Amino acid sequence: MFNKENSYNVYICGVGGQGIIKTSVIIGEAAMNEGYDVLMSEIHGMSQRGGVVSTELKIGDYKSSIIEKNNADIILSFEPSESIRVLDKSNEDTKIIFNTYPIVPSTLTQFNQTYPDIKEMINSLNENYDFVYPIDGEKLAIESGSLLSLNMVLLGAAIANNTFPLSKESIISSMKNNLHPKFHEMNVKAVEKGYNTVKNS
């Protein structure tokens, strides 16, 4: 069980334009509002649309901003192939949540690499990890009102895990503080859809 003497490590990855940075800010603010120390690493990769982006957050006690190998408590991947790329951060207890709809990162096309088969990817992850949660984030975001709510769908899925240290209420409060009021209703729906998808799985 997480407590303030430990560190809860969140690794978020995907491609530019998916709201990865905003998601990190919302988590960080919610953590501070609940009384935790929080540290977010610098952004890796290029943040323009199509470029690979990742952020690392440590909630609680920490010694550095970078999540060490095999030390992520949760990997939140907005793009399926990116969840494979960062598996060196995972261990047998890591929760791996990822959007199953591919947006081919520019690095793949740049080096003429073949995009992995999604079903094979899911099967491989399930064979090697105990906590794998593929989410049709695109579908749930559209059902919530806009594809732009994808990041809140995945964040809702993340907080549904019983090891996640922050409450749904504090996440929603932080989201409202960081997004324009006209988007609040849509994004609350998105959080709830992601949350319920994992809780009912």
**Could you tell me the CA-to-CA distances from 109 to 113, 136, 137, 138 in Å, in that order?**
6, 23, 23, 22
**Could you tell me the CA-to-CA distances from 163 to 73, 119, 127, 153, 198 in Å, in that order?**
9, 27, 22, 18, 13
Per-residue confidence band for 16, with pLDDT thresholds at 50, 70 and 90: confident
Q: Average model confidence (pLDDT) for the chain?
A: 90
Instruction: Tell me how far the alpha carbon of residue 101 is from its chain's centroid.
Output: 14
Per-residue confidence band for 12, with pLDDT thresholds at 50, 70 and 90: very high
The rounded distance, in Å, linking the Cα atoms of 154 and 56 is 16
What are the residue boundaries of the structural domains of the chain, listed by start?
7-199
Tokens representing residue 127 in the block: 């064979």
Per-residue confidence band for 5, with pLDDT thresholds at 50, 70 and 90: low
pLDDT at 46 over 60: no
Tell which CATH classification among 3.90.870.10, 3.40.1260.10, 3.40.920.10, 3.30.565.10 matches the domain 7-199: 3.40.920.10
Per-residue confidence band for 4, with pLDDT thresholds at 50, 70 and 90: low
Interval 119-134 mean pLDDT: 96
pLDDT at site 44: 61
